[in-house]
Structure 1
Amino acid sequence: MLDTAPPPARRRGAAHGTTAPAVRTAAWVVALTVVLAASAVAAVGMGTVPISWSDTLHYLHAYVTGDIIAADDVTRYRIIADTRLPRVLLAIVVGAGLSMVGVAVQAMVRNALADPFVLGISSGAAVGATSVILFGTLAALGAAAISFAAFAGALVATVLVYVAARTSQGLSPLRLVLTGTAMAYGFSAITTVMIFVSPRGEDAKSVMFWLLGSLASARWSSLPIAAGVTVCGGLLLAVWSPKLNALVMGDDVASGLGLNAQRFRVYLFVVCAAMTGTLVAIVGAIGFVGLVVPHVTRMLVGADHRRVLAVAPVLGAVFMVWADVFSRTVVAPAELPIGAITAFVGVPTFILLMRARRYTFGSA
């Protein structure tokens, strides 16, 4: 069996037993899960029409059990059941998904600055979404046109990055980062040109809103795909966590531990691309979640990916729920792009992390 726990963690386990890290991780998972549950209930009650905790719990109970709602409560019940609840649940799914992809991508390319969008996938999705918003492409698909076009753009970007980055020796971390960055600039240039030549210049604001991400279009119909891809991808990454530990040590070390690093990196690329493309197609390009949350998680539980992938999705879900709350309440009844909120929080957080002397990427 592959023993791929980071060396510092292994030495600490020898001195204090292997129970302490597991207990600490379990404690963080339980605590964050409680915080997430409370945050979800609070978020469902917050908005342009505030709803008290007691009423929120009553409406949620009625939704789950099918209890009868009084006629005077129907309007507020529908706000929760049809609008806010699917939005909060989608925020949880997106936050968890982007956080797990961030962990995987940082291990895949061995780069502390990597995030789910470093592969250029979100920029490809932006081209597809922009073509629908500005030119009415795929208008026959109705409300699903933007998501479909964005996913198609993400798929095209994934194929192009893979073909351009792959050599006879496989996918190297440096080539993946450089190719993804170059493709991102290229797709961004295409998006910019489309905005300038668009006959409907007033839609440029809609494009910018999508590029920064939003959960405003969250519906029950958008949840199954997002949740299914996130759960399946997350389970795969959790199973692969020992291999991620080996990969982050370098290809030579990974090979010495019995891991085919090049083949495994291809698998990771496909899973991360599928998760990123799906989530971006539904909510737009929300940045900083996949960059900051993995680093904060490592400060809490160490660098072992078995622990990081247990805590990061819950922490990312909490972060996304509150980012969405602020995006729809700060300037209510208007709404800010959620990417602006995540950047506003993520930038100072990342700077503080980089200045923390006790934190080093890849340390346990």
Structure 2
Amino acid sequence: MTMKKTISWYVLLVGLGLALGLSAAMGSVSIPLPEIWRTLIGQATHAAHHTILWEIRLPRTVLIALTGAALGGSGAAYQGLFRNPLADPYLIGVASGAGLGAVVAMSLRWPYSFWGLMAVPAMAFVGAMLTVLVVMALARSGHALPTANLILAGVAVSSFASALTSFLMLRSTGELRRALAWLLGGAALGGWPAVGGMLPYLIVGLGGLMISGHALNVLQFGDEQAQQLGLNVSRVRTWILLAAALSTAAAVSFAGIIGFIGLIVPHVMRLIFTPDYRYLIPLSVLGGSTALLLADVLARVLLAPQELPVGIITALAGAPFFLWLLRRSKVQGVG
């Protein structure tokens, strides 16, 4: 098992490195990998390459990578917390709630500065927390969270949040363009200020999830057994919910609503490598970054020079996977 874990780290790190390189190289102007390296060390042979890389490609690449990490890590945490492989930020409505909070913040016309950007994920966090609490309350049946109830409650709350988001966007004037750009995938327009605005929230959120691996492992035995093993179930659940909601809010605030990364990546990591949450969460963080970077590259090249919103690519890949997973869970009696 130790060798398998070591190999998994090497595979994912190499994959992430290749995805980062492709993301920086691909676009309307292709930049060869050697030229990217020369530009990074200050020896660019073309001034245009320096401008394209530092002002456009690198901030987008970093933002996409951080978004994928947030969605992958929070998706793994939700699946462990609910003991349900179908849970993810998008499916249970948390992403839509965070999106509603983000649009509310945008409608207040905060300035496009560091502190203005920091207010967007703060409001998204409030929306995400309210959503997850409502979904859990609606889905709970006694002490259980059945799969069908969770999905139905998530779809209903997500639709309601999306409707409110659309209403606010239609009511807005000057902020409509900013909100629409965000909804279609704001990573292309964020720049370095967006990266700086996301990082504090992401460090706290993913950091909290990283140290919760052992607690998530214990929770897999059920609440009563976990309590008997000395785990303060209520406190741990609250902590993980806060950390996962904060990670989701940070991702949604600057990259829009991107579905299925939080569902697919943790499940694939679990099947291929390990179900141990001490390793599954960091593996999902790396896998989420890699998967979303590759999806973003596809979004840029499929209809070049026109770019597709990256959410379309993840939905095209994720929807069939979700249907397969739903059928598999039904056969195995999950929920």
What TM-score, normalized to structure 1? 0.77
Aligned to 1:139: 109
CA shift at 1:29, angstroms?
0.9
Distance 1:33 1:361 in 2: 35
CA shift at 1:299, angstroms?
0.8
Distance 1:234 1:124 in 2: 19
Aligned to 1:304: 276
8 Å Cα contact 1:292/1:346 also seen in 2: yes
Distance 1:153 1:227 in 2: 15
Q: After superposition, what is the alpha-carbon deviation per residue over 1:88-131, rounded to whole angstroms, capped at 9, x for unaligned?
A: 11222111111010010111112221102355332233334545
Aligned to 1:266: 238
Aligned to 1:345: 317
Distance 2:197 2:75 in 1: 20
Aligned to 2:129: 158
8 Å Cα contact 2:100/2:127 also seen in 1: no
SS where residue 205 of structure 2 aligns? helix
8 Å Cα contact 1:115/1:288 also seen in 2: yes
**Aligned partner letter, 1:289:** I
CA shift at 1:152, angstroms?
1.4
For residues 1-364 of structure 1, the aligned pairs below 5 Å read 21-62=1-42, 67=43, 69-70=44-45, 73-118=46-91, 120-130=93-103, 137-139=107-109, 141-142=111-112, 148-149=119-120, 151-159=122-130, 161-162=132-133, 174=145, 177=150, 181-194=155-168, 198=171, 210-351=182-323
8 Å Cα contact 1:43/1:321 also seen in 2: yes
8 Å Cα contact 2:136/2:145 also seen in 1: no
Distance 2:47 2:10 in 1: 35
CA shift at 1:213, angstroms?
3.2
8 Å Cα contact 2:105/2:119 also seen in 1: no
SS where residue 188 of structure 2 aligns? coil
Distance 1:33 1:149 in 2: 31
Distance 2:136 2:119 in 1: 26
CA RMSD of aligned residues (A): 3.5
Distance 2:285 2:131 in 1: 29
Could you list the runs of 5+ residues in structure 1 that have no partner in the other structure?
1-20
**Aligned partner letter, 2:312:** A
Q: Please identify the structure whose Cα radius of gyration is greater.
A: 1
**Change over 3 Å in CA distance of 1:337–1:360 after alignment to 2:** farther
**Change over 3 Å in CA distance of 1:143–1:217 after alignment to 2:** farther
8 Å Cα contact 1:92/1:317 also seen in 2: yes
Distance 1:117 1:27 in 2: 30
CA shift at 1:274, angstroms?
1.1
8 Å Cα contact 1:113/1:291 also seen in 2: yes
**Change over 3 Å in CA distance of 1:79–1:54 after alignment to 2:** same
Could you list the runs of 5+ residues in structure 2 that have no partner in the other structure?
none
CA shift at 1:87, angstroms?
1.1
Distance 1:225 1:92 in 2: 15
**Change over 3 Å in CA distance of 1:157–1:245 after alignment to 2:** closer
8 Å Cα contact 2:213/2:278 also seen in 1: yes
CA shift at 1:279, angstroms?
1.5
Percent of pairs identical after alignment?
Answer: 30
CA shift at 1:132, angstroms?
7.1
**Change over 3 Å in CA distance of 1:361–1:288 after alignment to 2:** farther
**Aligned partner letter, 1:227:** L
Query: For this pair of structures, how many residues does the alignment match?
Result: 327
CA shift at 1:240, angstroms?
1.6
What TM-score, normalized to structure 2? 0.83
8 Å Cα contact 2:124/2:252 also seen in 1: no
